[in-house]
Structure 1
């Protein structure tokens, strides 16, 4: 990853730092920053870890920063302490958000002029609601992507006796694109939006791939695209132990000529989509926002583990058999409105409240110290482990021996460290996608 140089030039613009730990969270964080502060100087930071995005993944997201660097948690805390940022967007998994919040509390233990801390979720929240939300508590703004989510978020905080005033209703920042124009009564381009971890088993993933291929064979006048998030060896927000690219190699008969794997920006893929099919991907909300007919599959059941239970009442639940027979689901307008999906509506107004709250916080001469719900008093058996995973002590400060940015580091040393990190990351991904499935199959013998 490119190395950063110190200093932030604002030129009257809002100075925003976004810390992300995967390609999808970078997309959410960077676009959220642009929605909240349209006139901004954006500095991007990628948290070093198993899912740190590759240059190809960053290019596919299509969001550019004025500056980009790969950092550890301790390095990021040092950067925001000295960087003069107005806003910090934490586009991270819950535990990492909690670590940064405690690190920020250690930097500013009393009211001070500090960055406004913003966090939220990258998409549909269908699991670990209480756990993830309480790990995000302590940020100045906790963004909810819909009215439905805002109500749930406040209920969790109030139920735990935590301050819920930071919860702010917005919408997913990447909804957009031109409205769908139906060309004929039939779908000519069908897109199956695959997910890295849903479903998990080889049998279920092979089943979905096989049904997509069968749909293409039954409708030779249609083009069926299997939209993938990453290539083998890359990771995204969730681990993908069984990439569809590998499953295609063992699919009896392979893929027909009118069915193929595709990559790229989802918005660009939707430009030519007549029917979006998925299990529970956030891509469904992107398609629904544009008015694209969308099917959320029920073939494997409607289950919390799959996330498709989130779409109950949407009018989009359907099976491959129904799609083979020509069904094109019609979404329920009331359900869409509750989810922040406003097809042909005032989408931009969804960010007005958050913009106003952010501007008011940035203008304050001082902000109170961050106050996460989890402390050594409320979670003495949980919090220390979370902080230790990011090399922070229980006081929120870097543990002794934790590496800090070194201005005197040579270019050669930085290159060697980057090479070692890439090699280790590659070995880890090989273990997840090649070795682990073999060991698991051997254990089942």
Structure 2
């Protein structure tokens, strides 16, 4: 049936963390062709970053169904269920493994879903590696014109088909633009789980935030945190700011906040970060935004992505009252702070491409990832094996059955094991690392 005549669409989103679930679910709603009804089924890949109920509630994105799966369990669901669109909101290796698994289970199917993948935010590291691991999806979404150009260059540079690259925008941009200062004037530091990663640098940033709050007692200063201790998001956080703050002692006008970033931005007058995607959300809403240079402008920090933005500044400059002015051309290339109506149209190309694929006579051809046993015989098997898949994408012997749900005891053990892992990451590993430095 042509997509234009479809009464409803079924979309599956597979995500491996809270931030990727947010990106995947919102993207699914943005790219869905016009239809009278959309059913969204969420699948959370079981692992160290599987979001907790609190994290899912904080994201605020609702699905018609939501449950945990392994990669093999997800593939077995895809073998028996009929979807129109499948969104893979995973780390690169996970995308590659699932693409090969889907290719295997859909080998004899005449009609298959459109497969979509992409990135949660700023792409500042492992560009070639991450892109080639995502190659093979029908659409590889780029969040800006700059990213779309870079993605095509990588694919064409290795002789891979670049037609899947589709320019869109970050799906979670929105909210009312800032038009006037709030009372009190509010400064928000958007923390990141893994940038910077060492205690010295994280302590330095917290000390400077505390110093700014004390220097400007009339301002409200907020430390916006992504997760609570014991939770994981896309990246591992070994040194949570909460624990550093307990030892430092905070002035009365500085406090820690959680919750939806958009709600925090509703009351923000100045957004400060090292390289968080929150900077793009802030710029989209015309909020003065600072990307810190205190620790250098370095690829390891990700703030090199903002070279030319007009947003680079230090705490010394902020303490002295500096307010940045973003470069309009740079901002426009990032797909943020666009003119009236243009953000809403940013997903038109993706919707048109999906409609065309759904209407394709005879269905879609098999998925064709760039990495195969011929192009990457020393790399691909390890990626597949981590998800219990063989070289051909088929489940290895002993893979868990999708219809065998864990009992209460196994669920308790699984939660305990995940808690032990997080305890090891956040408490034991730093101690061992410090001992090694003695």
Which string of whole-angstrom CA distances, capped at 9 and with x for unpartnered residues, describes residues 382-406 of structure 1? 0000000000000101100101212
Is 1:93–2:91 an aligned residue pair? yes
Instruction: Name whichever of 18-27 and 109-118 sits farther off.
Output: 109-118
* 1:377-416 → structure 2 map (5 Å cutoff): 377-406=374-403, 413-416=406-409
Q: Counterpart in 2 of 1:5?
A: none
- Retained in 2: the 8 A contact 1:15–1:42? yes
* 1:358-369 → structure 2 map (5 Å cutoff): 358-364=354-360, 365-369=362-366
CA separation in 1, counterparts of 2:179 and 2:338? 13
Unaligned runs of 5+ in 1: 1-10
SS at 1:301 equivalent: coil
1:217 deviation in Å? 0.3
CA separation in 2, counterparts of 1:416 and 1:33? 35
1:112 deviation in Å? 2.2
SS at 1:64 equivalent: coil
1:244 corresponds, among 221, 231, 241, to 241
1:421 deviation in Å? 1.4
- Retained in 1: the 8 A contact 2:286–2:337? no
1:361 deviation in Å? 1.0
* 1:44-443 → structure 2 map (5 Å cutoff): 44-109=42-107, 112-183=110-181, 188-251=185-248, 254-345=249-340, 346-364=342-360, 365-406=362-403, 413-443=406-436
Instruction: Name whichever of 217-226 and 355-364 sits farther off.
Output: 355-364
1:363 deviation in Å? 2.1
CA separation in 2, counterparts of 1:42 and 1:175? 20
CA separation in 2, counterparts of 1:12 and 1:208? 53
> What is the number of residues matched between the two proteins?
428
CA separation in 2, counterparts of 1:99 and 1:269? 36
- Retained in 1: the 8 A contact 2:169–2:335? yes
TM-score (ref. length: structure 2): 0.96
TM-score (ref. length: structure 1): 0.94
CA separation in 2, counterparts of 1:95 and 1:414? 29
CA separation in 2, counterparts of 1:275 and 1:344? 22
Which string of whole-angstrom CA distances, capped at 9 and with x for unpartnered residues, describes residues 280-313 of structure 1? 0000000000000000000000000000000001
Cα RMSD (Å): 1.3
1:344 deviation in Å? 4.3
Q: Counterpart in 1 of 2:40?
A: 42
SS at 2:407 equivalent: helix
Q: Counterpart in 1 of 2:3?
A: none
CA separation in 2, counterparts of 1:61 and 1:328? 30
SS at 1:250 equivalent: helix
Classify 1:203/1:47 alpha carbon distance in 2 versus 1 (closer, same or farther; 3 Å): same
Unaligned runs of 5+ in 2: 1-5
Which string of whole-angstrom CA distances, capped at 9 and with x for unpartnered residues, describes residues 269-290 of structure 1? 0000000000000000000000
- Retained in 1: the 8 A contact 2:169–2:347? yes
1:418 deviation in Å? 1.9
- Retained in 2: the 8 A contact 1:43–1:66? yes
CA separation in 1, counterparts of 2:47 and 2:7? 34
1:81 deviation in Å? 1.4
- Retained in 2: the 8 A contact 1:290–1:343? no
1:343 deviation in Å? 4.0
- Retained in 1: the 8 A contact 2:132–2:370? yes
SS at 2:381 equivalent: helix
